């Protein structure tokens, strides 16, 4: 039996005609993305609320658990879209857990938050399910580094498990480089994983999974950089996905339990492999305008209407 603090307060909320939406935004949220989400959402939802995650009150008592913002009960909304990152871990675990126990629809789950904010965990889950990836290792003592090298060889890529925007992703060519990087890692007590390096590719493919829809973007890195992150000066363009890309992206999203996410692919020995999955992908507005945001909102509104219909049936 699950309990929630929802019922008592429900009556006090004004009755809404269309579905209602809460966007929970990250501490590091980009203002342009949020603005665009609001303006698209206002076309489809009768009530749109953006709540910074650090302003939410998380309450627990013998009656269960609830989420409140300025006196409003967030679990009364039909759709909740948490756009949070590893920076929000402390609050996000509670918030996502409570959303999961409610009747509101969310396109992402707590399990998917844990896995996608952990680059090794993602590789592990996906490769166990037979999805293509590259050899990855994970260890806590830098004494295991040589053991890791025997799996991936040089060069390899070392990543902070929950880095983003290309931060904390470094290429390591030899033992000397490895030793100096490990010194820094030890100093800051960071969790790291390593991955076999995919040579000679200055681009990656980002697959935006939105329900059954897959929109595909090719990201090309800035001259001289091997990383294809937009935030590192890379560029992006929409491309037509191949059936292989679509199937990998959809299966990855399914295994992680996400209706909305972005699956990053690279080409390795003529096959597409998953590099990582993003819980809070940016919509690359500089290159794609509001294409992605529009699709997110459209999908959420369809789900919202379903929740509303369920509610009226009750």
Ligand X SMILES: Nc1ncnc2c1ncn2[C@@H]1O[C@H](COP(=O)(O)OP(=O)(O)OP(=O)(O)O)[C@@H](O)[C@H]1O
Where along the sequence are the contacts to Mg ion (CB under 5 A)?
A: 264, 276
Q: What is the largest CA-CA distance in the chain?
A: 66
**Contact string 40-69 vs ligand X (x = CB under 6 A):** ------------------------------
CA 85 – CA 209 distance, rounded (Å): 18
**Contact string 170-209 vs other proteins (x = CB under 8 A):** ---------------------x------------------
CA 229 – CA 218 distance, rounded (Å): 11
Q: Give the residue with the Cβ less far from other proteins, 151 or 225.
A: 151
Residue 249: count of CB within 10 angstroms of its CB: 28
Residue ranges in 254-313 that form contacts with other proteins under rule CB under 8 A? none
**Contact string 139-158 vs ligand X (x = CB under 6 A):** ------------------x-
CA 155 – CA 133 distance, rounded (Å): 17
Rounded-to-10 torsion of CA 177, 179, 183, 184: 20
Contact between 104 and other proteins per CB under 8 A:
no
Q: Which does 182 bind (CB under 5 to 8 A by kind): ligand X, other proteins, Mg ion, none?
A: none
Q: Give the residue with the Cβ less far from other proteins, 62 or 176.
A: 62
Q: Give the residue with the Cβ less far from ligand X, 113 or 197.
A: 197
Measured in whole angstroms, the distance separating CA 272 from the mean position of its chain's CA atoms is 20
Contact between 94 and other proteins per CB under 8 A:
yes
**What's the DSSP call for residue 4?**
B
Which range touches other proteins (CB under 8 A), out of 17-25, 35-43, 87-95, 218-226? Answer: 87-95
Q: Six-digit token pair at 107?
A: 């396109």
Q: Give the residue with the Cβ less far from ligand X, 118 or 159.
A: 159
| Strand boundaries in the chain, DSSP class E | 20-25, 47-52, 57-61, 64-69, 72-73, 79-83, 136-138, 156-160, 169-172, 192-196, 203-210, 213-220, 235-239, 260-268, 271-278
3-state secondary structure (DSSP) of residue 241: coil
Site size for ligand X (CB under 6 A):
23
Q: Which does 89 bind (CB under 5 to 8 A by kind): ligand X, Mg ion, other proteins, none?
A: other proteins
Which range touches ligand X (CB under 6 A), out of 28-36, 79-87, 183-191, 222-230? Answer: 222-230
Q: Which does 209 bind (CB under 5 to 8 A by kind): other proteins, Mg ion, ligand X, none?
A: none
> What is the gyration radius of the CA atoms in the chain, in angstroms?
21
To other proteins, the closest distance from the beta carbon of 147 in angstroms equals 6
Contact between 118 and ligand X per CB under 6 A:
no
Can you list the pairs that 27-30 forms with residues at least 24 positions away whose Cβ atoms lie under 8 Å?
A: 27/52, 27/53, 27/54, 27/85, 27/87, 27/88, 28/85, 28/87, 29/83, 30/282
3-state secondary structure (DSSP) of residue 20: strand
Binding positions for ligand X, rule: CB under 6 A? 119, 134, 157, 159, 163-167, 169, 195-198, 204, 226-229, 264, 275-276, 278
Binding positions for other proteins, rule: CB under 8 A? 1-4, 52-62, 64-65, 89-91, 93-94, 97-98, 101, 114, 118, 120-121, 123-125, 127-128, 130, 132-133, 135-141, 143-144, 147-148, 151, 161-162, 191
């Amino acid at each position: 039996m699950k309990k929630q603090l929802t019922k008592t307060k429900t009556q006090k909320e004004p009755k809404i005609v269309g579905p209602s939406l809460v966007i929970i935004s990250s501490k590091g949220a980009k203002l342009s993305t949020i603005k665009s989400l609001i303006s698209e959402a206002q076309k489809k939802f009768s009530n749109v609320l953006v709540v910074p995650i650090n302003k939410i009150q998380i309450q627990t008592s013998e009656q269960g658990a609830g989420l409140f913002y300025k006196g409003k009960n967030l679990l009364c909304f039909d759709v909740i879209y948490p756009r949070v990152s590893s920076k929000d871990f402390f609050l996000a675990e509670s918030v996502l857990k409570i959303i999961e126990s409610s009747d509101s629809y969310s396109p992402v789950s707590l399990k998917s938050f844990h896995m996608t904010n952990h680059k090794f965990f993602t590789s592990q889950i996906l490769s166990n399910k037979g999805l293509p990836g590259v050899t990855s290792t994970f260890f806590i003592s830098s004494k295991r580094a040589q053991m890791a090298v025997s799996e991936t060889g040089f060069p390899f890529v070392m990543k902070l498990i929950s880095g983003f925007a290309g931060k904390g992703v470094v290429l390591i060519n030899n033992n000397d480089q490895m030793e100096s990087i490990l010194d820094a890692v030890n100093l800051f007590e960071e969790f790291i994983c390593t991955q076999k390096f995919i040579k000679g590719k200055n681009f990656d493919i980002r697959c935006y999974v939105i329900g059954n829809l897959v929109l595909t973007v090719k990201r090309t890195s800035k001259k001289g950089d091997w990383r294809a992150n937009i935030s590192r000066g890379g560029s992006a363009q929409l491309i037509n996905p191949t059936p292989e890309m679509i199937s990998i992206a959809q299966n990855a999203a399914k295994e992680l339990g996400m209706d909305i996410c972005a699956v990053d692919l690279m080409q390795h020995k003529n096959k597409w492999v998953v590099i990582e999955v993003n819980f809070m992908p940016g919509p690359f507005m500089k290159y794609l305008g509001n294409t992605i945001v529009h699709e997110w909102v459209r999908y959420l509104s369809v789900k919202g209407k379903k929740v509303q219909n369920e509610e009226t049936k009750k």
